Amino acid sequence: MKKLLILFMSLMIGNFVFASEQDDVLKFFNSYVNAANSYSNAIPDYYTPNAKIVRVVMKKDGTTISRSTDMTRYKTEMLRSAGIAKMRNYKNYYSDIKITKQGKDYKLSCMRKPSLSDYKIPAHFIIGKDAKGQYKIKEESMHTKMQIFLTAK
């Protein structure tokens, strides 16, 4: 009986820690979304220096093509396009958020609704802690119907 009680308590503590970490990941993500939607210059700080950025371009014929880049190029393109986005009041809204553990990291899957559209499309983020214990985006993947970033390989 004692072993069963210890096992039960271990499972409960493990679930509590996992839920608490998920809450922290969600808080980090919400902070990122607020910063992005307010065109903060601190957006690159939410990513690891070697973050992988993927855009899955949805073509009119229903096919897709993936484009990926590193954080250096993405940061340059993001900062260059920020003025146009701000002028158009472009924002992203996220719903149907699901967080799952992947090794030491978390995968946040969601649906993204660009403010200038009437549709939602898939996105996901791999979020984990860096060497300083701070949450950072290690990978970002978004479907898109309009390819502004990463126009050439």
- Answering whether pTM is above 0.85, one says no
How confident is the model over 121-138, as a mean pLDDT?
97
pLDDT top residue among 141 and 1: 141
pLDDT given at position 151: 46
pLDDT given at position 19: 66
Other residues' Cβ atoms within 10 Å of the Cβ of residue 54:
16
Would you place residue 1 in the very low, low, confident or very high pLDDT band (cuts 50, 70, 90)? low
How confident is the model over 83-87, as a mean pLDDT?
88
In a domain, 152, yes or no: no
- What is the total count of domains within the chain? 1
Helix, strand or coil for residue 96? strand
In a domain, 38, yes or no: yes
DSSP lists the bridge partners of residue 99 as 108
pLDDT top residue among 69 and 9: 69
Mode of pairing for the β-strands spanning 135-144 and 47-58: parallel
Instruction: Return the CATH number at 116.
Output: 3.10.450.50
CA distance 16 to 144: 36
CB 37 within 8 A of CB 114: no
Q: Is the pLDDT confidence value at 80 over 70? A: yes
Minimum mean pLDDT among 79-88, 109-118, 124-133, 143-152: which range?
143-152
Helix, strand or coil for residue 54? strand
CA distance 97 to 123: 10
Its domain, for residue 72, covers 2-144
Other residues' Cβ atoms within 10 Å of the Cβ of residue 51:
21
Other residues' Cβ atoms within 10 Å of the Cβ of residue 128:
18
DSSP lists the bridge partners of residue 102 as 105
Indicate the average pLDDT of the chain. Answer: 87
How confident is the model over 29-35, as a mean pLDDT?
98
In a domain, 149, yes or no: no
How confident is the model over 96-125, as a mean pLDDT?
96
